[in-house]
Structure formats: C-alpha cells, structure tokens
Amino acid sequence: MLRELGDRCHEAECLVGLGEAQEEAGDFGAARATWGRALEILERINPLEADRIRGRLDGPAASVPRVGVPGRAIAGSSRADEVSLKR
C-alpha cells in the first residue's frame, strides 16, 4: 500500500522491520531478500541508512544494530538506537 501511495520512506522502514522479524524467526533467506528490497529504495532516498542495510547483507546480521529511518523509532528499538541514527 505504501508503494502505491508513493511513500518510499515508510515503505523502506516497513521492509527493514519485516526483515528483522524474518531474521528473528530464523528465516534468513527471506530477511536478506526483504532487506535487498529496502536497500533499493534507501540507495535513492537515504544513503546513510542504505550503508547500514548493506552491512546487514554483507556481514553477520547479528553483529549489526537495529536500524530504521533516521529520526524515527522502530518498534523494539531503544532511544539510544534512535539517537545514534540522527548522527
């Protein structure tokens, strides 16, 4: 629905969260595919966040902190995560 509305920022945020849920459920292939879709969007609208997602795809997912769209908290993230994203 967000894609249909042209809301790419929130679409990417939802995809990142979905990828995290898939990872937590142990479906690593689905998580990587979902993060890949988020990366395609973020490369155009938020290069810093794209680098974070690229890190998830390139390295062990467990070693990369939870991420989201800067200035927006993701369910389950801490205030420290949100603040670090604004830097």
**Does the pTM exceed 0.75?**
no
The DSSP code sequence of 30-64 is HHHHHHHHHHHHHHHH-HHHHHHHHHHHHS-GGGS
Domain extent for 73? 2-85
Return the pLDDT at 5: 57
Return the pLDDT at 8: 87
Q: Count of domains in the chain?
A: 1
Q: How confident is the model at residue 83 (pLDDT cuts 50, 70, 90)?
A: very low
Tens of pLDDT, residue by residue over 21-32, are: 999 999 999 999
